[in-house]
């Protein structure tokens, strides 16, 4: 079972780029890396997913080195509304029992 390690919390200011790194040393060959965002009183929401190298969508980028033992979620120019908990998930949907959330990273964006 792939275990993930993330920083407990991070602080940033509006307009800055934020990078949150997740360690997953025992990632399996078939595992994908997925990031979710959760606001208070809401369920987690999908942000981005990748397998290797770099993935970019309209809200974030995901950087995955060649050994895949870590990944970095990059949020460009954060705003106050990006204050949330961010979870890194490593697993393969075909084996749903691997979809275990870690403790997450509390991101606080200040003005």
Partner 1 sequence: DAGVIQSPRHEVTEMGQEVTLRCKPISGHDYLFWYRQTMMRGLELLIYFNNNVPIDDSGMPEDRFSAKMPNASFSTLKIQPSEPRDSAVYFCASSPGGATGELFFGEGSRLTVL
Binding segment for partner 1 (CB under 8 A), chosen from 21-29, 44-52, 61-69, 73-81, is: 44-52
Interface pick for partner 1 out of 46, 59, 77, 108 (rule CB under 8 A): 46
Sheet holding 105-110, edge to edge: 9-13, 105-110, 84-91, 32-38, 45-50
For partner 1, the binding residues in 91-110 under the rule CB under 8 A are 92-94, 96-97, 99-104
For 18, the token pair is 């934020």
Nearest distance, CB of residue 100 and partner 1, angstroms:
6
Contact 21, 68 (CB under 8 A): no
Nearest to residue 73, comparing CAs of 33, 100, 101, 108? 33
For 38, the token pair is 């959760």
Nearer to partner 1, 67 or 94 (CB): 94
Nearest distance, CB of residue 101 and partner 1, angstroms:
4
> Does residue 7 bind partner 1 (CB under 8 A)?
no
20-37 burial, b at 16+ Cβ within 10 Å, e below that, comes to bebbbeebeeebbbbbbb
Interface pick for partner 1 out of 73, 86, 87, 107 (rule CB under 8 A): 87
Which chain residues interact with partner 1 by CB under 8 A?
A: 30, 32, 34, 36, 41-46, 49, 87, 92-94, 96-97, 99-104
């Amino acid at each position: 079972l792939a275990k993930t390690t993330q920083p407990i919390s991070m602080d940033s200011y509006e307009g800055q780029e934020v990078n949150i790194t997740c360690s997953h040393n025992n990632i399996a060959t078939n595992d994908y890396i997925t990031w979710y965002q959760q606001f208070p009183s809401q369920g987690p929401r999908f942000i981005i997913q990748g397998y290797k190298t770099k993935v970019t969508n309209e809200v974030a980028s995901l950087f995955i080195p060649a050994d895949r033992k870590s990944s970095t979620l990059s949020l460009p120019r954060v705003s106050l509304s990006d204050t949330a908990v961010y979870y890194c998930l490593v697993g393969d949907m075909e084996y749903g029992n691997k979809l275990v959330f870690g403790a997450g990273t509390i991101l606080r964006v200040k003005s």
